[in-house]
Structure 1
Amino acid sequence: MPDLKEAATGRRAELREFLMSRRARVSPAEAGLPEGGGRRRTPGLRREEVAVLAGVGASWYQWLEQGRDISVSPQVLDAVARVLRLSNAERRHLYVLAGLNPPVPEVEPAKRHMCDGLRRLIDTWMPYPAHIMDAYYDCVMYNDAAAMVLGMRPGTTQNCIVDFFTDPLYRSRSKSWERNARAVVAQFRAACAAAPGDDGYRQVLQRLEREAGEEFTRLWAEGDIEDAGQIRKELDHPLVGLLCVESTALKVPARPDLTIVLHTPLDEANTAAKLEWLASPEGRRGAMYPVAG
């Protein structure tokens, strides 16, 4: 069993070092203080300046930085994080070191450009299907294999859970639809529960109740909760027949608003070779012609 007292002592020591290092990198000018004040023995802000700017007592902040066992609140930590110009990741780290549950991850403005890199990721996953969806299950992007195998296309709702219930093309191909429907709904409920009162989830739920019909309503009423992970999918493709894949939902900490869903071929039904053929010039030509299903 871990020594809880020793762990707490180590965490407070790390909190001290973390706050001192963050304070040292913020200049008085960056904090909105006048440039005067004489020569400084150490770079960055003084403890007293952090306390004044954060609206807390100088002694209390000194105790915090010394790693003393004192009570802290999210409001005070947020004020300190603001003064020290902490990033979202650093702010969460501060909460952990102070012994509080960290806030919900947010996207740093500088990380929003990552979509270009994520596009390269799913394109490199070819010839296997891959797509990326946002927190509300809206499809952000998908690769060519997802279009050929899963039927992702502009004519759908572009919302992954709504299309799961309402897209006739996907449902005609999915041999595992009924088995997977319960897991899909349970994972969506878990996402909704993690963001109570979020209007975006409420809108998707209303849309499902309106468009997905009794099947969704029945599964939602069961109240199951399940974390996103892996789901086995069996698909009957009109050109190559049975495909057996495993979808894996992945999170990128820097983009907590996005989920990457990669489909990996299982060692059944010669799935890998079939997916490679579908992505080949011959397979793409075959997909150009209408095929039932």
Structure 2
Amino acid sequence: MGGVTAVTTHRAANGTGRHRRRPELAAFLRNRRARVTPGDVGMAPGLRRRTPGLRREEVAQLSGVGITWYTWLEQGRPINVSPQVLDAVARTLRLDPSEREHLYHLAEVAHAPDRQSDVIEVGPEIQGIIDALDPHPAVVYNSRYDVLATNPAYLDLFVVPETVAIGARVRNVLWTLFTVSEECCPVVHRSRELPIMVATLRGAYGRHMGEPAWESFVERLSAASPYFAELWRSGDVAPPGPRVKAFRHWAVAGEIRMTSVSLSVNGMPECRIVAYTPADADSRERMAVLRGRRGA
């Protein structure tokens, strides 16, 4: 009997907690909606506006959700909510990270930290680690393949005639690999390697769906590269992992085969150090030739 009573009491308490969260959620959304003016989101104020903030239908429109659904959410009704929809509402209401986390808690949705990985900067400790790996190439990527930091050997490996140095003017390795000609692409087996990279990108995309930076990146690269657009439409998904890749340096050192290994970085969610080591003795000698080209 004691066990049954304890379980019943726990369920009752849990139900009371949920019952309290919904009115809190409703009040929180109304309060935050009142803070955002039409001018803040590029809308005309209009006539006969009873409140300086946004109307419910405006929040729904800007968030890409139905007015009825948003009204029910703001009324505190027990409806199911997805993280993607909460993210859209949070962006419309201009919530800061702590407010966004509070919104997730009130809506009873597992909170994920802000993943705007394009604003992450590499500190001197991480830069020092990848510099110490030279003469082995090393780079720090986020999950969108933005190049956050490199060492000189990485640039040696990715610079071929008529291309630019990744990390100097181009800040995303996918953008470089898909927008240069096949003859200038530093990766030898382009038709084999690039689909794997796109599948890895899509594996991360599911956690960022709806984020403006990600949606804009996919849209712009699809417009710039029909090949990328074709691979993206395939919907293939893959995690990052160790691979042997071949790089072309015909005029200087020939073909160089490198094993790549990804290492996660504490304190930098969805970022990884990718380190390259020669896959055979010939490739080790050819990397030395590249290194000699810059006097290292």
Q: TM-score range by the shorter chain?
A: 0.5 to 0.7
Shift of 1:248: 2.1
- How many residues are treated as equivalent by the alignment? 194
8 Å contact from structure 1 (residues 165, 171) kept in 2: no
3-state SS of paired residue (2:219): helix
Q: 1:131 aligned to 2:139?
A: yes
The one of the two structures with greater contact order (alpha-carbon pairs below 8 A, sep at least 6) is 1
Q: Equivalent residue of 2:286, what SS? A: helix
Residue 237 of structure 2 aligns to a residue whose secondary structure is: coil
Alpha-carbon distance in structure 2 between the residues aligned to 1:167 and 1:259? 25
Which whole-Å CA distance do the structure 2 matches of 1:190 and 1:231 have between them?
Answer: 17
Structure 1 residues 135 and 241: CA distance shift in structure 2, 3 A: same
Q: 1:170 to 1:157 in 2, by over 3 A?
A: farther
The alignment-based identity, stated in percent, is 22
Q: 2:139·2:273 contact (CA, 8 Å) conserved in 1? A: yes
* Distance in 2 between residues matched to 1:113 and 1:140, nearest whole Å: 7
- 1:166 maps to 2:176: no
SS state of the match for residue 234, structure 1? Answer: strand
Deviation at 1:226, TM superposition (A): 0.6
**Residue from 268, 273, 277 that aligns with 1:260:** 273
| In the alignment, structure 1 residue 147 sits paired with structure 2 residue 155 | yes
Q: Which amino acid aligns with 2:139?
A: H
Report the counterpart of residue 225 of structure 1 in structure 2. Answer: 237
The Cα offsets for residues 102-131 of structure 1, whole Å up to 9 and x where unpaired, read as 633458xxxx78621110111111111111
Within 2, Cα distance between the matches of 1:127 and 1:259? 19
CA distance in 2, matches of 1:159, 1:170: 19
Q: Is 1:202 paired with 2:194?
A: no
Within the candidate set 270, 274, 284, 2:286 is matched to 274
Paired AA for residue 221 in structure 1: R
Q: Provide Cα deviations, 1:69-106, integer angstroms capped at 9, x if missing partner.
A: 96787x97xx9xxxxxxxx9xx9xxx9xxxx9963345
Aligned to 2:194: 181
Is residue 2:131 matched to residue 1:117?
no
Q: CA RMSD in A?
A: 3.5
Partner of 2:247: 235
Q: Read off the aligned partner of 1:232 and give its amino acid letter.
A: V
Q: What is residue 216 of structure 1 aligned with on the other side? A: 228
Aligned partners of 1:128, 1:144: CA distance in 2, in Å? 9
Q: How far is the alpha carbon of 1:135 from its aligned partner?
A: 3.8
Shift of 1:230: 2.2
Normalised to the residue count of structure 1, the TM-score between the two structures is 0.56
1:190-237 CA deviation, whole Å, 9 max, x = no partner? 11112221111101101111112x211211111101111123211121
1:150-190 per-residue CA deviation (whole Å, 9 max, x = no partner) reads 12346643211111211349844321211011101111111
Query: Match of 1:254, SS?
Result: coil
CA distance in 1, matches of 2:109, 2:242: 27
